[in-house]
Amino acid sequence: MPEGHSIHRLARRHHQLFRGEALRAASPQGRFAEGAELLDGATLERTDAWGKHLFHHYTGDLRLHVHLGLYGTFTEGDLPAPHPRGALRLRLVGKERWLDLRGPIACEVLTPEQCRQVTDALGPDPLREGSDPALVLARLARSRASVGSLLMNQQVVAGVGNVYRAEILFRHGVSPFLPGRDLEESTWLSMWADLSVLMRAGVRTGRIVTTDPEDRARPAGRARRVDAHYVYRRTGQPCRRCDTPVSQVEMAARNLFWCSWCQPDP
DNA sequence: GCTAAATGTTGAT
DNA sequence: TCAACCTTTAGCT
């Protein structure tokens, strides 16, 4: 579930797996053969994430840039690595562990300068130290576009995806259709603070849970699955706060979910 | 066990 | 606006 929290979690994990190790790199699929050749033998110094973009810093100023897109996925394990099967874009092998990457939308070796170009095009990331919500506000304040679409724009805020978008709007009673310029500053600042908390929890657990305990159904009997979302993918089901059926509409080829009572139209 | 839909973005039409 | 990327998972049966 690659929203920003997953990518930060992966950055942390890859650092744990391979920090300080010289890695073998290969692209069994062939689509990253040149890049893998460049990386082969380099040592992983550190990892970094900005929004949904992942970076590995290797010796020799080599940077691996990965964007998982919708389908991309990493798998890992202890050596020996299994025989490569399917479309395996990149396999990294360390002293004790292997790491496979499949289906990313971006997997490339960049220079530090090229990495900067990537991150310069991104808005502040609630998961990064020192990110400034005022910069986001400045973008919102001069846009007639809906806050629902602006939150999905990585140049405005980095790391928020369809789930966090729907849930943060609900939690603050904001209609997705409100023009960005009409969002109150104080509302945005509490949304940002809330996003940081929720996304940090996502990094810790690997799951997106946005409901407050009092809005979840009583745990009937044994450990049942937690009611993790207020509106995301709950079309037609009663709102956890007011019982109004959750609404859904397709917006820019993405599903948008909201409660028309808790988040009234502007 | 199978099918449909999905967390995202780019590039072509 | 749509296809591509080509894996995972939720929801059926």
The domain ranges of chain A are 4-120, 133-258
**Average pLDDT score over chain A:** 92
Measured CA A251 to C1' B13 distance, in angstroms: 20
- Residue A16 confidence (pLDDT) above 60: yes
pLDDT at A112: 93
Q: Do A133-258 and A4-120 fall under one CATH topology?
A: no
Q: The domain A133-258: what is its CATH number?
A: 1.10.8.50
Gyration radius (Cα) of chain A, Å: 20
Paired strand residues for A35:
none
Which DSSP letter does residue A172 get?
T
Say whether the CB atom of A264 is under 7 angstroms from strand C: no
Give the tens place of pLDDT for each residue, A127-170.
999 999 999 999 999 999 999 999 999 999 999 999 999 999 99
Query: What is the share, in percent, of chain A residues with pLDDT greater than 70?
Result: 97
As a whole number of angstroms, the distance between CA A139 and CA A194 comes to 19
pLDDT at A251: 81
Nearest residue to C4 via alpha carbon and C1': A105
* Averaged pLDDT for residues A74-97: 92
A 10 A CB-CB count for A205 gives 11
Q: How far is CA A237 from the centre of its chain?
A: 26
Q: Write down the CATH superfamily of domain A4-120.
A: MutM-like, N-terminal (3.20.190.10)
Q: How far is CA A37 from the centre of its chain?
A: 28
Give the tens place of pLDDT for each residue, A179-202.
999 999 999 999 999 999 999 999
- Can you tell me which residue has the tokens 């609404």? A247
* Averaged pLDDT for residues A84-101: 93
Helix (H, G, I), strand (E, B) or coil at A197: helix
Catalytic residues of A: 2-3, 52, 254
pLDDT at A223: 46
Contact (CB, 8 A) for A181 and A145: no
**Which one, of A139, A131, A121, A126, lies nearest residue A67 by Cα?**
A121
Q: What is the largest CA-CA distance in chain A?
A: 58
As a whole number of angstroms, the distance between CA A110 and CA A247 comes to 43
As a whole number of angstroms, the distance between CA A246 and CA A261 comes to 9
Say whether the CB atom of A152 is under 7 angstroms from strand B: yes
